[in-house]
Structure 1
Amino acid sequence: MSKYKLTYFNFTARAEPIRFLLSYLGEDFEDNRFEREQWPAIKPGMPFGQVPVLEVDGKVLNQSVPICRYLAKKAGLAGQDEWESLLIDIAVDNVFEIRQEIMKNYHDPDEEARNKKKEILVKESIPYYLERFEKTVSENGGYFVNGKLSWADIYFVAILDHLKSVIDVDMVEGRPNLGKLKQKVLDIPQIKSWIAKRPGPIF
């Protein structure tokens, strides 16, 4: 059995899909968290100066999305063939794109530019993406791909609380298919158990 150690800030964000997938796998992982003020001391020791990182049997891995894909393959959630895997990867990248837009705006040091961009995000970009996600889930039996649970569904649901805390928008409000998908993922026993015990703030 592999030994896992996940290192990240003491909140959800980019690490939460990894935590969801490790929990789904039933892995008793080390959730190594640190506070923001500790980051300058920790950063030089991280690959490419970034987190999250996942240590698997002492081997240090960076880049959250490939880590998720690796865990998803172990969990049987990465597609039954190359085509299904491609569709899942596309769904994840679409979710990742709107997440990146939101976070890029959040970290913009120019307050005036940030406020203008936020208005565009709330009125245009977020609805554009979420309406398409809603349609995709509606057409695929309540999931992102082929009517069954994949890591695209887990990835999407895992970042929702964090995005809401950043931009104060409920991504699934008024979108019944996405709302049902969120609940299905949160009702998975292993994930439900993780949420009940997870420490720290959302952001």
Structure 2
Amino acid sequence: MAYKLYYLDLRARGEPVRWLLKVLVQAYTEERISVFTQWPQRKKDFEFEVTPVLEVEGQQLHQTTVICRYLGQRHDLTSHDLWTRTRQEEVMEALHDVSNIVSTAFIARVRGDDAMAKGDAEKVKVKLAVVIRNIETRITEQGWILAAEMTWVDVCVAAYLDIYEEILGQDLLTGHPRTAALLKNVRSLPQISAWISERPGWTKFEDPEGLF
């Protein structure tokens, strides 16, 4: 099966889906929609008027966690214990709380509200520190979040951490060795290493320069 991913021309919430599709070695195409010039006209094409959207056998699947959970379960990269799966997904939702603040910072900058943009950027640092502290406590001796083997959650969490490390700097995970090792291990997977070397750079909207 070939999937089709629809997302804005950003990393953000689309990047975990991309990483997971690549780790699963699933063929897919992607339509990148310009956040500035195309999105206002294209949003009506999607049932909930949001992206990312994964097209599966002609049907739309919305929301990052839902998409990634589906892919992980369909392609057997998931924990088979309900409680473990649920606790793993807590981490994903906590990272989405952070991404919401990041988005408001970028939107404020576009609107020229520098004070709000800077204020939200500081909130990101505070919130993310709490999330990373909790991720660290959930990583097992085997190196994965609440599991002995890698699951889809590890891949998606690493994709987010990759973004935030680029935004906030290489010392983001200082003092959190297990989290740093998880990110390193996922980045070193051949499919991810290749993607990192070839993916598009930051677009104007999400370029962190001068904000974080």
Between 1 and 2, higher relative CO (CA 8 Å, sep ≥ 6) is seen in 1
Q: CA deviation at 1:174?
A: 4.0
Counterpart for residue 41 of structure 2: 41
Instruction: Tell me if 1:121 matches 2:130.
Output: no
Q: List runs of 5+ in structure 2 lacking aligned partners.
A: 207-212
Paired with 1:146 and 1:45, the residues of 2 have a C-alpha distance of: 38
Q: CA deviation at 1:140?
A: 4.7
- The answer as to whether partners of 1:143 and 1:149 remain within 8 angstroms in 2 is yes
Instruction: Tell me if 1:63 matches 2:66.
Output: no
Paired with 1:49 and 1:39, the residues of 2 have a C-alpha distance of: 10
Alignment RMSD = 2.3
State the one-letter code of the partner of 2:96: F
Q: Determine helix, strand or coil for the equivalent of 1:33.
A: strand
After superposition, where does 1:50-89 map in structure 2 within 5 Å?
A: 50-89=50-89
Paired with 1:40 and 1:96, the residues of 2 have a C-alpha distance of: 23
State the one-letter code of the partner of 2:28: F
Paired with 2:133 and 2:7, the residues of 1 have a C-alpha distance of: 31
Paired with 1:69 and 1:83, the residues of 2 have a C-alpha distance of: 14
After superposition, where does 1:1-203 map in structure 2 within 5 Å?
A: 2-36=1-35, 37-108=37-108, 110-122=113-125, 124-137=126-139, 139-164=140-165, 167-170=167-170, 171-198=172-199, 200-202=200-202, 203=206
Paired with 1:120 and 1:159, the residues of 2 have a C-alpha distance of: 17
Q: CA deviation at 1:164?
A: 4.4
Q: CA deviation at 1:162?
A: 3.1
Compared with structure 1, are the counterparts of its residues 13 and 70 closer, same or farther at alpha carbon in structure 2 (3 Å cutoff)?
Answer: same
Paired with 1:7 and 1:45, the residues of 2 have a C-alpha distance of: 10
Paired with 1:191 and 1:76, the residues of 2 have a C-alpha distance of: 19
Paired with 1:99 and 1:93, the residues of 2 have a C-alpha distance of: 10
- The answer as to whether partners of 1:21 and 1:154 remain within 8 angstroms in 2 is yes
Segment drifting more, 113-122 vs 80-89: 113-122
* Higher helix fraction (1 or 2): 1
Q: Determine helix, strand or coil for the equivalent of 1:49.
A: coil
Paired with 1:149 and 1:3, the residues of 2 have a C-alpha distance of: 23
State the one-letter code of the partner of 1:115: K
Paired with 1:19 and 1:43, the residues of 2 have a C-alpha distance of: 20
Paired with 1:155 and 1:80, the residues of 2 have a C-alpha distance of: 18
State the one-letter code of the partner of 1:103: S
Percent of aligned positions that are identical? 27
Q: CA deviation at 1:159?
A: 1.9
TM-score by length of 1: 0.84
